Structure 1
């Protein structure tokens, strides 16, 4: 049957199938709904293993997010049964034949592409739907908030592969749990249950797998409904607080509040409280 002989209904169905087929071939799916962007790693056949192709797609999407002021929160998750199994094995094997200097440069660029989420001015939430190990685990830790399915398994298994940690793992894990627990996690390379990760302080919560996305979206919605200006300032302030003194944060906090007092949204927030209604913030 040629295209000319298709009815309008059949043509619409054909176009829909074509769009679905195209999207299914993308390494990362990208959707924006009600100020919330969702990035879905889309290589379920490899448990969403990370490679250069996925990295390029990830970087391009982050640029798009940065240029869209309507996006207030980002969710990252995985298609199929995994969040991400870490670095693609073929990619790792290809580096065995390369020179040390070449590998170092390529790896740094690879890390920077994914860890650019740390520089996003808006909150990023990891919805860990399944296994998150190696570089995939580290990417989840780079997010501002982390929620995992109770069935998910997590771990920094680099040493078990004969590798030192990558993707900022040493920095991220040590910052989150301290040097003693980081030593156990990294030196053993153990893969552990979500509940154990929660006990370690690596997660905000562990919820039933079937409820994970609804739960994460509810958190994202609460954040998106808050004032966009203070939300951005809060993210920046939390990152600064890790290496600043209390006195330095006094200066930052006062400047941040002064910035908010110069916006339309503070007027809207006060009016909403007085009128006992939900505020409608515009980010100005």
Structure 2
């Protein structure tokens, strides 16, 4: 496995994963997919990591699948299904189950599966130079990574269908209006702003952050009554934590709390 295809760095409780195939606009390779999955799992299992940022090297976030490989027909029928289920789907499922917040720093073009990889993250900070597109229709295929699952949950079913069926390019301000990205920032300030958000979240009580994310995920497929039952159990657990006690004491003592994740 070529470990240079995805760079990994941890600083101030934030793990930064950087897609590092700038020479091919960070297009996916089998090695990149496998490495990305394993690094997400590494960040998941590292107690020193409280938030995760995903970005791309150079002027592209991710251009999706490698079109050269598609044109050469390297993956056929069953091989494609296997590649998706054992590779790409592993990223989607890992991100969905991950209880640490993941932020995409969209530094440039995010096309097809590249856009979908950003949609899989919990939040998205977008450069004012970026563009996005669900470009599958231009290649005569459909999103094999969950794009048709994630996009309607952000932009609504009708708008999602329009974007999927036309493959139209989405400019940053339109993406912001549609709720696809959380904020648009000047390109030069992208990582600064993204890391500021990640570090702010990482400074909060880790157990509460994780349970907050789980609560939002649980609510997606839950009735109000079952969600209230679920959330009352989470609150009961959190009130027994050291971090809850620390937060209350810090408030009364008018100081900044120091959270241990216990």
TM-score by length of 1: 0.88
Q: Show CA shifts across 1:31-78 (max 9, x none).
A: 000110000000111111111110111122122112211100000001
Find out whether 1:87 has 2:65 as its counterpart: yes
Q: Show CA shifts across 1:230-259 (max 9, x none).
A: 100011111111111111111111111111
User: Aligned pair count?
Assistant: 260
Tell me the secondary structure at the aligned position of residue 258 of structure 2: coil
Which residue, out of 94, 99, 106, partners 2:83? 106
Within 1, Cα distance between the matches of 2:42 and 2:142? 32
Match of 1:258 in 2: 236
Within 1, Cα distance between the matches of 2:129 and 2:96? 27
Contact in 2 for aligned 1:111/1:168 (Cα 8 Å): no
Runs of 5+ consecutive residues of structure 1 not aligned to the other structure? 1-22
Match of 1:201 in 2: 179
The offset of 1:176, in angstroms, is: 1.3
Match of 1:72 in 2: 50
Match of 1:128 in 2: 106
Match of 1:270 in 2: 248
Within 2, Cα distance between the matches of 1:209 and 1:59? 27
Runs of 5+ consecutive residues of structure 2 not aligned to the other structure? none
Match of 1:214 in 2: 192
Tell me the secondary structure at the aligned position of residue 60 of structure 2: coil
RMSD: 1.4
Which residue, out of 93, 96, 103, partners 1:118? 96
Computing the radius of gyration from Cα coordinates, the structure with the larger value is 1
Q: Which has the higher contact order (CA 8 A, sep 6+)?
A: 2
Contact in 1 for aligned 2:34/2:87 (Cα 8 Å): no
Q: 1:49 to 1:97 in 2, by over 3 A?
A: closer
Contact in 2 for aligned 1:58/1:113 (Cα 8 Å): no
Contact in 2 for aligned 1:138/1:172 (Cα 8 Å): yes
TM-score by length of 2: 0.95
Q: 1:86 to 1:281 in 2, by over 3 A?
A: same
Q: 1:192 to 1:270 in 2, by over 3 A?
A: same
Match of 2:118 in 1: 140
Tell me the secondary structure at the aligned position of residue 255 of structure 2: coil
The offset of 1:99, in angstroms, is: 4.5
Q: Show CA shifts across 1:149-204 (max 9, x none).
A: 01100010000111112210100111112210011000000112111111111010
Tell me the secondary structure at the aligned position of residue 62 of structure 2: coil
